[in-house]
Amino acid sequence: MVDTLFYLLLGHFFGDFALQSDGVARGKQTSKRTLTFHVFLYTLTIGCALAIGLHLHDSNEFFSTFTIAVLAFLFIQHWIQDFIKSQKFNGTKQAFYVDQGIHVLVLFLIRSFYSQ
């Protein structure tokens, strides 16, 4: 059985890399509107990947209040983190690695709350 973490990381990959154009990557550094668009798309891809993963495992947890709260938390957390990175730490490899490490750590923590 594939772990819920796989679907969370899959959504993270698509939302934070594959579906983010160069224009959005640059624009989110200076525009709160573009940042919000990026985070919305990120949260949507995580939600879709999570829904697929939970559905494949015959789980009704996606439609729970908990999952909606998780997605809201991810939206807020990702927006704040990317905003801080763009204002204070943007442009370095270290900032990228720390940013991605925190995103993945948050997904690990979220995974621990889903039953397997």
Q: How many CB atoms lie within 10 A of CB 68?
A: 12
CB 3 within 8 A of CB 111: yes
| Rounded-to-integer distance, Cα 87 and Cα 79, Å | 12
Q: How many secondary structure helices (H) and strands (E) does the chain include?
A: 5, 0
Q: What percent of the chain has pLDDT over 90?
A: 64
pTM here? 0.89
**Along the 116 residues of the chain, how does pLDDT read in single tens digits?**
478 899 999 999 999 999 999 999 899 989 999 999 999 999 999 999 999 988 887 777 777 888 899 999 999 999 999 999 988 876 788 888 999 999 999 999 999 887 64
CB 11 within 8 A of CB 50: yes
